Structure 1
Amino acid sequence: MQVVLDNGILQITIANPEGYLTRIRYGGVENLLETRNQGSNRGYWDVVWDAPGYSGTDWYVVRASACFCSFLAAFQLKWFLTLTIYLECRLIGSSFNVVVQTKNQVEVSFTNKWDSTAWKSSEKWRLPVNVDRRYIMLSENSGFYSYAILEREKGWPAVNVYQIRAVYKLDRDQFHYMAISDDRQRIMPMPQDRDSGQPLDYKEAVLLTNPTNPDLRGEVDDKYQYSCEDKDNKVHGWISSDPQIGFWMITPSNEFRSAGPVKQDLTSHVGPTTLAMFHSTHYAGYDVTMSFQEGEPWKKVFGPFFVYLNSAPKSKGFGALWDGAKHQMTQEVRSWPYEFPSSEDFPKSVDRGFAFGRLLVHDRYRRRTLMPASSAWIGLAAPGQAGSWQTETKGYQFWTRADRYGGFMIKGIREGVYNLYAWVPGFIGDYAYVQEITITPGSAIKLGDLIYEPPRNGPTLWQIGIPDRTAFEFYVPEPSRYFVNKLYTNSDINKFRQYGLWERYAELYPDNDLIYTVGVSDYHRDWFFAHVTRRVNETTFNATTWHIIFPLEDVIPSANYTMRMALASATRAEVQVRFNDPDLGIPHFRTMAIGTDNAIARHGIHGLYRLYNIDVPSEWLRAGNNTIYLRQSKHDSPFQGVMYDYIRLEGPPQRL
């Protein structure tokens, strides 16, 4: 059984009642999807999950993998021996319904109600969630929309969800050129090139040894090299050359994605594959697991997103298709929230509210007067502590960027109760408005002037880096000539996306660790972007200790100094801090074991943000030169470590 939607521009065929996409006919091509795959493996939604105490067999797929940093890491067992079973299931329907059918719009629904009697059956182990998958096609529109409503009812079992996404696998004979942004576009390898290549330190990274296109020989292909932050993940896709057709994933809003605007995730990669990522543990790890307790109800709308198709004569080149996709993306963003989805679970603009105000910063050791929070990220998310938005996964989030004066307006907010959060580039820490904000249909919440007081005890004695939640400003080395992705060889902005940069630390510091001298060293050149282990041999790695040398003319007796240490990323790491005594048995401070974001291995330049405020009694310091020893003590693999965002030493409080 099939359902066919056709508006005269394109035609899509959907399996009935399962709801997966089997064919897209457009531009004279019978099917843009990969016909070598089974129908269920062309255009589909899937979820990766597990349940407490599970030890059976998944109804769809069971995968065993070495667990590193997240259930999706799939690292080689030579690094980690913890075996994890997780479930990857397709969100399929069991019944079909035509929701809307007019001359201008068709909307169809594929639903599946969870059967509690099948729970833990040897034959049917399904994610306990009701599924309503929708497709919308509009007249005179070169594409189609898709969204899904997932719902849990009271009394259902506890589960952990690690990934929710939509996947489109295109015809490998047609689509060879991938575009993610203006400066990230290229002809890509073929799937068979990866199959015949040399696997590297983790399975996603492959050295192309005999590719179909000889120009790609010697390059590294890794899907994580094409990740981007959700705030920038609005349009990406593929172009075929004959005929010249573009296939684009357009996501006009981040409101249904997890963990805020700077959460990183996958886009398109070799397949050719195009993804719409809604939730994952990528670049964040266990901390962003969507965990449901026993009996916890929940409902969320994911999407709609827009699959856009365009074409152009060869004389105009690929650039015309990319420009057309960007233009369409702008139109979709302006149209959000859409007015045409029929589900009552997707509120129209009249049923939403907005909030506005101005954010100012008070840091008396930088300026006595209030400063505008220029370019601050300001958003509404589920109530919680300051910074909790970056691990919030079950609700909706609404973010905007403040103007140069700190002014902001957040539009299109769904009805609900939220906290307002913010963080300001150039300042450490997180802001949270003290009162909860209730949004009702049509509400306009005037917040007025809000004041953020970033953590501060005393004047800055010295600082390393820029407080922007990334390690971008630090030294990113050139990649090994044996492991290069040519897309990034002339890109300072994307230099960190090259494979194997963690290995360069041991090459640059073969015997002694990094030493940074305040007032002499330059963090752009002398501070390695990631504090990693040092390889001894194939299976052995050593912990590393970095030195910060700084002078003090005098030390105020019985006074308290403060060290601020902001981390941009942490992967199964522990940072130990010692002042002037590298052999101190018990460190003056330690983070304990932290982080599973895996940003080092996945070329991420940041993961989750962490801020540590360390009290430094004056007896730890001395007049003259002092040394802080930063030891990353965990050393089981090449990928363990941290990325620093910013380090500052403050003097004792002063009267101003």
Structure 2
Amino acid sequence: MQKIYFSLYIFCIYLNSFVSSAAVELHVSDDQVVMYNDFLQLTFTKPAGHIIGIQYNGIDNLLELHNPELNGGFWDLNWSDPESTQTRGKFDMINGTNFEIILQNEEQVELSFKRTWDSSFEDEHSPLEIDKRFIMLSGSSGFYSYAIYEHREDMPSFSLNEARLVFMLTKEKFHYMAMADNRQRFMPLPDDRLPGRGQELAYPEAVLLVNPVEPEFTGEVDDKYQYMCENKDNKVHGWISLDPLVGFWQITPSNEFRTCGPLKQDLTSHVGPVNLAMFVSAHYGGVDVVLNFKSGEPWKKVFGPVFIFLNTSSDKENAVPVLWENAKEQMRTEVQSWPYHFPLSEDFPQSDQRGSISGTLLVDDSYVSNDHILAVGAHVGLAPPGEVGSFQREGKGYQFWTNTNDEGHFHIENIRPGVYNLYAWFPGFIGDFRWEKLITVTQGGSIDVGTLVYKPPRDGPTLWEIGTPDRSAAEFFVPDPDPKYINKLYVNHPDKFRQYGLWERYADLYPDKDLVYTVGISQYHKDWFYAQVTRKVDNDLYTGTTWQIKFQLEKVDQAGVYKLRLALASATFSILEVRVNDEEANPPVFSTGSIGKDNAIARHGIHGLYWLFNVDIHSTQLFEGENTIFLKQANGSKFQFGVMYDYIRLEGPALSSEN
């Protein structure tokens, strides 16, 4: 079977490359622009710059043009007035006002659809100057798109909630969606989500299919957030039409222009059929990751380019794996070609205009090893200067990330010139590393920072720990979903946390009393629920929950201070309170106050933003023998409120104080 797939794969490549000399043509009329080569044809509105036609492989138009709201291919954004505390505001379809041919020859055409701004537009659309670019190359069965966003000093303050590139594909053709080897399937139709066929659940995005057009989807839940992806893994996703055979793929070769670092999660493709390139969003971060601009603040950023790749095959029986493998191979080609040499905006630096950085990372934790530890598999990146860990909330600038090798070495190439901090975190160790020195990357410059040492938070020896410090709650107990709310893709799947309604399963498993975890007896992968959620006590009434950690101490160092490390993988409008051996203590030993707005529980995430809290527990609060730590999530008014734990550790006093 592998030989068959390989042969078909080679033929698929052949079909997509045999006219490598095909020239690019351009026709411009009063209200439309048509760009094409021997593979495909794109039709744009002029000067707005919306794609209203993509012709390929016998399909007159791959795009849907009859939706009641959104149609075709387009750039759009969502913005708010600066005083807003919400993550949704005004929808802004970016209509170009000026059309320009940047380059036209047989090898390449680059088009610009630019929207200008002046004070007369202040209430009409966002205070941004936006230049949308589209590129077609000869011999390519695809096209590129990028955009330059600029906030000038003469523009007022505002908040940018979302920026994206959208393709609404024809629902008559595209029924199969793929975004990973183990995340692909035939999808319901958009009509299945309409009243009468679909039943809205706890929020509008989640719909139970009660009378779908295709009966095989009856009883399934459809929710676009079930197909979200972390930035570091979001490289290729798209749709397949089986008649005629066409694959429509979005390929993102770099994450440098995406916001909030490699673990930021966002939407990909979903029922519509919709294909998205998300550049800015509040998903899995809330208002903490919205981009806020002050009046007079200059800013410019290039989003993209991304590559829209189309492919086909001669064999319908094996088309899905062949087209998917071909799309992945094309993705690898695009990644190796980054940064592209052909975009003509002066704001997109070429490879010889960028710099690089390298170094080695070690960990210093004397309670784990007397020697420095190689930081194997650490995430290392450059991001705009900020506080420790600030990269996960930063979106105005560019970020460049990699992983260390087996010797703790890292090397990052193709960095835009600028001033950065170097950030890192290490699986197996809590907290964040930030090198105290600013790093200035210059054109063609190569920086070697030498050996850097991270000393993670640590006061004393580990008395006990729950979980693994990896910024995710995936290692904890994720329940099976309610059989009434199943997405078949995630049945017997490693990502079972993507099923709908798992927060309701807590009350099923703990109907009368909350979770109690006994150190040395309980096992976190079976006995620690993946999220400390609220408890449903009536139809729309919820209450907070209090979890207990029971542990034994043979003796208590009366002169020392113990340390409780609480690493959270997510928080949504939560107030986490810590009490020791007295559930009613007022005030508590520690309270986070109200934290978090990432909404990861409702959106089927296993993490949102990372939090680390270090709690002092005085020896007078502890007993020889059995002790109990009470973790109360006090804000229990809604189902989506709660926290996910990454890792919990209790440390004894420093060894020097015990001697």
Q: TM class, shorter-chain normalised?
A: over 0.9
After the TM superposition, which parts of structure 1 deviate over 6 Å for at least 4 consecutive aligned residues?
A: none
Give per-residue Cα distances to partners, 1:289-328, cap 9 Å, x unaligned. 1000121110000000000000012143211000000000
Q: CA deviation at 1:558?
A: 2.1
Match of 1:57 in 2: none
Preserved contact between residue 97 and residue 115 of structure 2 (Cα < 8 Å): yes
Q: CA deviation at 1:40?
A: 6.8
CA distance in 2, matches of 1:373, 1:215: 48
Preserved contact between residue 22 and residue 40 of structure 1 (Cα < 8 Å): no
- After the TM superposition, which residues 180-579 of structure 1 pair with which residues of structure 2 at under 5 Å, given as runs? 180-195=179-194, 196-313=197-314, 314-491=316-493, 493-579=494-580
Give per-residue Cα distances to partners, 1:64-86, cap 9 Å, x unaligned. xxx9xx624xxxxxxxxxxxxx1
Preserved contact between residue 560 and residue 615 of structure 1 (Cα < 8 Å): yes
Letter in 1 for 2:321: G
Q: CA deviation at 1:53?
A: 5.5
CA distance in 2, matches of 1:542, 1:23: 52
* 2:150 partner SS: strand
Q: CA deviation at 1:118?
A: 3.1
CA distance in 1, matches of 2:63, 2:289: 32
Match of 2:24 in 1: none
Of 68, 71, 74, 1:44 maps to 74
What TM-score do the two structures reach when normalised by structure 2? 0.94
Match of 1:133 in 2: 132
Letter in 1 for 2:87: F
Match of 1:77 in 2: none
CA distance in 2, matches of 1:639, 1:434: 37
Q: CA deviation at 1:119?
A: 1.8
Give per-residue Cα distances to partners, 1:609-634, cap 9 Å, x unaligned. 00001111111111000000000000
Match of 1:146 in 2: 145
Letter in 2 for 1:604: G
Give per-residue Cα distances to partners, 1:407-443, cap 9 Å, x unaligned. 1001110010000000000000000011000011000
1:612 matched to 2:628: no
Q: Show structure 2 runs of 5+ residues with no match.
A: 1-30
Give per-residue Cα distances to partners, 1:490-548, cap 9 Å, x unaligned. 11x21000000000000000000000000000000000000011001112111110000
Q: CA deviation at 1:461?
A: 0.3
Of 109, 113, 122, 1:110 maps to 113
Letter in 2 for 1:407: H
Match of 1:177 in 2: 176
Letter in 2 for 1:138: L
Q: CA deviation at 1:129?
A: 0.5
Match of 1:71 in 2: 87
CA distance in 1, matches of 2:394, 2:380: 15
Match of 2:591 in 1: 590
CA distance in 2, matches of 1:239, 1:315: 13
Matched pairs, number? 624
Using a 3 Å threshold, how does the CA distance of structure 1 residues 3 and 152 change in structure 2: closer, same or farther? same
Preserved contact between residue 87 and residue 290 of structure 2 (Cα < 8 Å): no
Preserved contact between residue 22 and residue 39 of structure 1 (Cα < 8 Å): no
Preserved contact between residue 39 and residue 141 of structure 2 (Cα < 8 Å): yes
CA distance in 1, matches of 2:547, 2:213: 44
Letter in 2 for 1:175: F
Match of 2:94 in 1: 91
CA distance in 2, matches of 1:252, 1:53: 36
Preserved contact between residue 63 and residue 71 of structure 2 (Cα < 8 Å): no
Preserved contact between residue 70 and residue 168 of structure 2 (Cα < 8 Å): no
Using a 3 Å threshold, how does the CA distance of structure 1 residues 109 and 579 change in structure 2: closer, same or farther? same
Preserved contact between residue 20 and residue 40 of structure 1 (Cα < 8 Å): no
CA distance in 2, matches of 1:99, 1:190: 39
Letter in 1 for 2:33: V
CA distance in 1, matches of 2:500, 2:36: 44
* 1:331 partner SS: helix
Of 45, 51, 56, 1:15 maps to 45
Using a 3 Å threshold, how does the CA distance of structure 1 residues 409 and 209 change in structure 2: closer, same or farther? same
Q: Show structure 1 runs of 5+ residues with no match.
A: 55-66, 73-85
Aligned alpha-carbon RMSD (Å): 1.2
CA distance in 2, matches of 1:39, 1:582: 53
Match of 1:83 in 2: none
Using a 3 Å threshold, how does the CA distance of structure 1 residues 181 and 163 change in structure 2: closer, same or farther? same
* 1:324 partner SS: helix
Q: CA deviation at 1:117?
A: 2.6
* 2:87 partner SS: strand
Match of 2:18 in 1: none
Of 37, 47, 57, 1:27 maps to 57
Letter in 1 for 2:283: H
Preserved contact between residue 65 and residue 71 of structure 2 (Cα < 8 Å): no
CA distance in 2, matches of 1:482, 1:448: 56
